[in-house]
Amino acid sequence: MDLSNFSAWLAEAAREIGAHSAACIRMDNPILRQRIEGNSTQVANWLKLGMHGEMDYLERMVPEKSNPWQTFPFARSVIVLTFTNRWGDIAATHPFPVPANDALLGYISAYARGADYHRTGQTILSKLSVLLGENIHTEATVDTAAVYERLFAAVGGLGMMGDNNLLRVSDSGNSRIFIGCLFVDSELPEVIFDPQISVTCESCSACLKNCPTGAIQPDQPIDARKCISYLTIEKRGTLSREEGKSIGSWLFGCDDCTMVCPPRVKVDMRIPIDLEWLFKVPASEIRSTIKGNATAYAGVTQLRKNAVVVLKNMQTLRAQDLLQWVDENSGSELIRRQIGSW
């Protein structure tokens, strides 16, 4: 580690370990404290409005997120990385079997191509920790701890927050990136950028126009209760008729706001899933298939519950036949409740 030219060293280290960009912020940076305090107030109001839905863990995390100086008492600096995990790469592979041409299909978000981003990020940050040196204590987080990671990245100038509530990185405006933080017990030189994005959110509105449920509204916090990603991943109970209609053919996540941010020619990189395969293959085999994939967070029962809703939305004879088979053969009370819910 070269402290005399730390900015150049960090940029080279980021390139070497496979990150997209990197910044470094001192934990005593007054702007960081100001931004965290302001963000915590906004989050508290958002939670008070109930826009987090069933994600009660977000409320429990507020004290830790609002005070990273206490959550990471050893930390004197934090290095923030962005990485793509091949999100948006048309050549990225996924573990799911290729459906037949006439298969009944549901879809999984393109970010589930490749390895689980949590694993990728932890690997990248572990490599960075080694490069920093043996005598430096670090702690890595990749959406795995109570950290305002997008805020840290924004304070570091790695990008700007988009209307879709995702970080848009400076060089391209792309919002299809992930963020990791490495808290460090050393007072490292700050590396903070002035983000420049050619197509600003103010001159665009593609994500708002493309959101099929109205979860994204101008100058308003995102209403998670309407977000397809929340409904398919985080909501673990049955979906109402209105919620079910809103998810369309999605089984896990949604690409509608990221596909158009920044404005680009749309390329459909959803992962198509044969719904008959999803229901009729043993759960143990599916768990083996999704091991190490982002969809493992949802689990087999959640994917199947969403698939019930997708079949209901199809309103075809083949879909009804498969639903009847599921009702007669499923051992999941949740799935049977979803079949009979509307």
Instruction: Give the active site residues.
Output: 143
Q: Answer for the pair 161, 168: CB distance below 8 angstroms, yes or no.
A: yes
DSSP 8-state class, residue 233: I
End-to-end, the C-alpha distance of the chain in Å comes to 60
Neighbours of 93 (CB within 10 A): 10
Instruction: Check: CB of residue 150 under 8 Å from CB of residue 167.
Output: yes
| Rounded distance between C-alpha atoms, residue 71 and residue 244, angstroms | 38
Closest by alpha carbon to 268, among 108, 115, 114? 108
HSE-CB of 273 using CA atoms within 13 angstroms = 33
Note if the bond before 262 is cis, omega within 30 degrees.
Answer: yes
CA dist., res. 248 & res. 200, Å (int): 30
Q: Give the helix ranges, DSSP H, for the chain.
A: 6-17, 30-48, 56-66, 68-71, 117-132, 149-155, 206-210, 228-229, 241-247, 275-280, 283-290, 300-314, 317-329, 333-340
Three-state DSSP class for 299?
A: coil
